[in-house]
Structure 1
Amino acid sequence: MRLHRLRITAFGPFGTTQEIDFDDLSAAGLFLLHGPTGAGKTSVLDAVCYGLYGSVPGPRQGGGQGATLRSDHAQPAARTEVCLELTVAGRRLEVTRQPPWERPKKRGTGTTMEKAQSWLREYEAGGADGGGVWKDLSRSHQEIGEEITQLLGMSKEQFCQVVLLPQGDFARFLRADAEARGKLLGRLFDTRRFAAVEQRLAEQRRAAEARVREGDADLLADAHRMQQAAGADGAELPLPDGTPGDPGLADSVLAWAAVARAGARERLTIARSALAHAESGHATASAELDDVRELARLQRRFADAQERAARLDERADDHERLAARMEKARKAETVAPALALRADADDDHRRATADEARARAQLPATYADEGAAGLAGAARKASEELGGLASARRAEHRLSELTAQRADLDRQERADDELLQEAAGWLADWDTTRTRLRDGIEAAQEATTRTEHLAGRLKTDQEKLDAARRRDRLTQEAAAAQERLIAAREHASAAHERWLGLKEQRLADIAAELAAHLGDGAPCAVCGATEHPAPARKSAGHVDRATEEAALAAHQRADEARSAAERDLGTVRESLAAATAAASDTPADELAAAVEELRRAHAESRDLASGLHAAREALARAEREHDRRVAAQQEAARRVESRAAMRDALAGEQAGLEEELTRARGASASVAQRAAQLERQTALLTEAADAARAADESAQRLKDADARLADAAFRAGFDTPSAASAALLDAAGHRELQHRIDAWQNEQAAVRALLAEPDAAAAAQRPPASPAAADAAAEAAGRRLRAAGSACDAAARRSAELDRLSARSATAARRLAPLRETHDRVARLATLAAGTSADNERRMRLESYVLAARLEQVAAAATVRLRRMSSGRYTLVHSDDRTGRGRSGLGLHVVDAWTGRERDTATLSGGETFFASLALALGLADVVTDEAGGVRLDTLFIDEGFGSLDDQTLDEVLDVLDSLRERDRSVGIVSHVADLRRRVHAQLEVVKGRAGSVVRQRGEG
């Protein structure tokens, strides 16, 4: 990957467009990016990262929002943009990215949010003019990100570690523990899949363990069930000891089940033998009981038959009397039809006579002596008169309709009068209402315009108020910084004078210091003499080298503190000048009062403007109401005109109908009343005529029935019809009498049959039977049989239950065996991968093992450059030894060739730490590059750290960096060390100012 050009607009500290030509800078192979603190050196690297990945590195990324990346010095209409041109994988690309930002509205005041945008173009050689053309590839953020990541073969984190080499991170990496190193290496080499393997093995181990424990718990539950099924015998046989998950638990449970099952079968055999013996005794006692009961039954049967025969002899006279009564009832049955006919005729005659009397009672007295024919004729005459009233009824109904129509017309007329009066009243105020509503709309529109104007003024004044408050705060900070600078200068001057004084005093007594190293026979370092008759002696208050060097160090620290105080004061004064320029000299209290007044006026105007929509809606509703009332007024006027003609027509028709009805009503109040009178008279006459005819017919039928009844009674042998009626029996009486006769005859036949039975007669000759003793013996035998059967059934159930549970336990044990084997295998793998297994001697996790291999590669690649930087003194080595109780695999040591000893990297000095971390960063870049598929990195950046090197080490480091440009590779150094400006000729300077930072580029020449 090689960078060609970078264009930055309104990004970070750069308020205007800045262009950087990396081709010109890279021509020398090594170039310097320098500038004062806070100018924006790191922002150039942020722009490169943002152009490629759409976000900036580390804590500076701010979520990638345009509000964070946008320059505070940019003009409001300037769009934040980063455009990067580079070559990667043989393709020349141009990536342009614009983050989201708030721009001023094109119309009115305020701002609006613009969305983020991205473009990707590729340069294709061989265009129409032979110079090549740019071809658009994509404008999708996601597609561009996937394309860049695929071409580079690195994520953003890897790119920031291998291209933008942050030395501070690697210095911490050298001093970090194994866990911190693992996190960094894990992000760079993406070993999440190995951590996922560890987690997956742990999950499988827990799942397998849960299944095994569940199976063991089921086995123990079955064992408890078998103990309960065995009853008292199970209590004597203790369950095997063990908990779910213990090895050999299944075998223990199966062995215990076999013992319990054998005992249950033995007890079942004993119970079956006892049951057979009880069954034999019960059969013998039952047979004896049956014989005794049969003898007692025959004896009771014969005695009962003798008693029943005596009772039949006593009731013989009653039986003869009942037979005579039955014979008389059979003769009376021949007269029964004539009796029934006469009774029916008598009932009909009485009902007809009563109906006739009731009908005649409702007629006028003039019809009291009329017969059936006279009543029928009067009914026909009334019916004919009723038929003549049909036309008069229709006329009366039409007259009621006309009356209702005229009443309805009167109601409509009153409603239209009220509507016309209401419409006239409302329309009279229409002009005033419309004017009032339009004035409200105009007031709301004016308030809207005033609100937008006040919002702009409020924003400007609020910015001035914020600037004034910053100005006041920075004024106090500047005064405090000035005091700190004065104190630092005084302290630095005092430390400098003390160092010069101690140095001068030491030089004055240097002879005594040299004399302290003289010995007899040893040459003097000054004159070479071997005899030393009068060596100089140290005076009181002698200053040695350590004291002088301590004073020098104190002087240097004080001078650095003075420089830092000067920088702080300059920074505060720059911020104070910017705040003063923005807020002028107006006091903050006055600005706050003005802002508060503007905010109050803005709120009032905004509240008034919010009623614009409601005012427009009110005017629209009023106009619609006006149109509706005008239309209703016109429609009511039309109805009034048509109603007068209709009223005249109805009045003429009503007069004609009233004349016709006067003739038809006669003396009645209405035609309907007259018709009702005729209808009722016709009905009463008709009913009376029918009742008179029915009474005459029923009297004749009654006379005929009396003659037939007298004839039938005489032929049946009865003196009178009443005697025949008294001899009759109803159905219930006949059945009861016949039942009593049949019962006596059946009882007589049954007694004769019983007395003739030979078995009963023979039993009566034997001694009386005693079934109580035989019954007691049979009951005792039955109890013994039931007890034996219950015991046998219980033993059989226990044995069957134990067999069933044993079979289920055996099946569960067979099913659990492969699960336990799987659990053992997965558990061994999981503990081995997690570093907790006894087989893992160094307690190294799987992910740590992979990272250890990567760290070993990085240490080997870093050593190549570290030896050259340290003149062959230092070598980086990887260590997988355990530290304390922790795990091993990510140790990093340095071997000092001068002492031959291996020590921790945390013991390196500041300068040594810098070039060791630089070598580590370069080695890591080589390894990650190989991991990414060998993508060539033609442009590298190294950020800060050179100020901790002495001149010789700096030369060696620059030689190593200069070697990186072999094969057309360029290296950019980011530093503010002044000595580098003399050593590196190609430079990119970042200069800061009030309007923002700018870049100045100088090539090798």
Structure 2
Amino acid sequence: MCPATNRRAPRRKPMRPLRLELEGFTSFRERTLVSFEDTDLFVLTGATGSGKSSLIDAMVFALYGSVPRYDNRNLVAPVVSQGMVQGRVRLDFEVGGKEYTAVRVVRRSSSGGGSTKEAALEERANGGASRTLARTADEVTAQVENEVIGLGLDHFTKCVVLPQGEFATFLRAKPRQRQELLVRLLGLGLYERLRQRANQLHREHESVAGTLQQRLEVDLGGATAQAVAGAETRVSELRALRERIREAVPRLVELAEAAREAKGRLDAVARFVKLLGEVRPPEGVEALAEELGRAERARQGATEALEKAVAAREAASDARDALPEKSRLMAVQQRRKSLSDLETKLAQLTAKLEWAEAAAADARDVEVAASRDLESARESLDALRLEHGAADIARHLREGEECPVCLQVVTRLPDRGAPRGLEGADAARRDAESAFRRARAEREQQSLGHGKLKTLFDERTKSIVDLRKSLEGVPSPEDIAAQLVAIEEVDAALQRARQAETGARTDHRLARGALESLEARRRSAWDDFRDRRDTVAELGPPSFEHDDLSASWMVLCSWAEQSVGEQNAAREAAASERDAVAAEDAVIRSKLGDLCLSRGLDLTPGDDPATVCAEALGEARTGLRLLQGQVEARKEVEKSLEQRRHKSFVAKTLGNHLSATGFGRWMQNRILEWLVAGGSARLKELSSGHYSLDLDSRNEFLVIDHRNADERRSARTLSGGETFLASLALALSLAEQVAGLAARGGARLEALFLDEGFGALDPETLDVVATSIDQLGTERMVGLVTHVSELANRIPVQYRVKKVGNASSVERVEI
């Protein structure tokens, strides 16, 4: 019996694809549109590797964002065509009379990975306006699984892409192989994982239970009702003790206050006696007045001496101001000396200038004579060269030819020899040129020397004129000498007056400093007196004479001696009162100490009974609350321990039931019965009532041949066509069972794809396959995926997939 017979089957809405559009998806690089409208039976045909299965992958990817053939569901980068940045797929499909559109766009990253950057799911009801149901990849997947189709990825792929090829192997497999195929087809490995998880939970719960038991024994072992009662008794006793102590506290407070007052008076007396003992005049008070008198007289004498020294220096300054500046007189003397020196040098320069003028004139005469000699030597040389040229021309003349000079025909050759002395004339010319150059150089040197002397003569002449002009109207040399002597004498007197003034000022500053120092000592002495008097101001010291420091000290010291006796009497009275208060306080505290000791509180000297009792009561209350909390915690831990042990028992029991020899084998047998029951009904329909399926006692497949009196024989005896029908029936049964077992009432899938190879089938079997598929196509949309042309040509609608280079395309052909 199938599961649908054991529970009420949910109402399921039909679902079928309408249009598929893909671009940049696997081998479909260009935009490709595949329409499934008005199509119930079709075939996806093409060579191996052309991209047939990629069309099914595209539909599944549009719905769930994953490709079932990839091991990793999150792997999306391979769907993008090689060399392209993004891939896009769109699926229009119908569910329960409503149309939906699912779109996903995958972009490749620079690192080689990929992610779904765009995704959307829209709904159109009865041809109306579209409504967006999801805008992200996760939202689209959730809507498809939970609302629109109601199937997860695994259930959907098992219901759409039928594994009838695996069921053909399933029919003939041995029991162990059949068991492995069944686990793989139906995902029965889940129960093994459940068993492992149950065992793991059993161990975890046992571990936690052990920890809880240890806490009960170690941490919460003392959390009992008896312990709480003892803690409550302790709190009550300490509360009673606290009340007894509170009754004695007021008298203790009065005694403490009296003791503090007595101690305060004793401390004050001791302090006053100490301060009065420190009242005594400092040394040197009487001598300070005499020193101040002497210092004042010394300052007055220094002031008078300074005034006299200032007057003498001012008189000397006035006498110096009446005389001219010494530098101006000395400048006049310097100009007179400079004038005398220049006049002497000018006389010497005049003689040199006259000699230079004569030498320059001689050099000019020598140059003129050398120039005439050079001109004469050049003329002689030119004449000899001319004669030598005429002789040379005559030597080359020929009779009857023209003369190159006169251009006349030579009738007779001249008798003319070459002149002599040409070399001597040339040497004379060179000697004359050398002599001329020497004479010119000498003349230029003499002229230069003469010019320099003339410039220097003019400059000195001008300086003499200027000096003479500046000395006009100045005193005579004798007057200037007399004035310089007078200036020297006045300057010496002024220097002596200034030195005397400096000495007087130093003496005056020292005398004033000594007086100020003594006055500071006097002010400090008065400050000391006032400070000392202020220390005993509380005792009312007598007034003092503000002008006589020594007398003031005598009055204050006399009063201090008298006050010491009064303070000693006050100290004896305060000490007596202190002793009486201490005795009464000791009696009361002794009684309180005995009470505390009776309650287990051992007081040490200096402890306050109220404080010790309050701290003990606080600790007792804290201990009681902690104990009460531990009792509650113990109850919670005991409850948790019981729950953990129960869960551990349940997990252990579940793990035992889910073992391979228990629930696993039972579940496989039950599922095998469900598959056979559903597959038998399907096989009977596909074979027109000729065959059905059953199991023998060893769970081996049997075929019931209704045409031969319901003969029962092994499934291994089936022909190729019969095997195909039986495996297809089991695959359809699996698809229906998977959809029925979905968590929500899944949509009824009206589209099935048979993506298995048919290359090993003979022509007769192909006829059976084609007939069965044609019959199945009357119930729902059926698509075959095959490269076998013999089978493809039997299907009226073909989608021919071709691949040229690395790009695939699809063409719809109806035959």
TM-score category, normalised to shorter length? 0.3 to 0.5
TM-score scaled by structure 1?
0.35
Structure exhibiting the larger radius of gyration computed from Cα positions: 2
Counting helix residues as a fraction of each chain, which structure ranks higher?
A: 1
Please, what TM-score do these two structures have when normalized by structure 2? 0.42
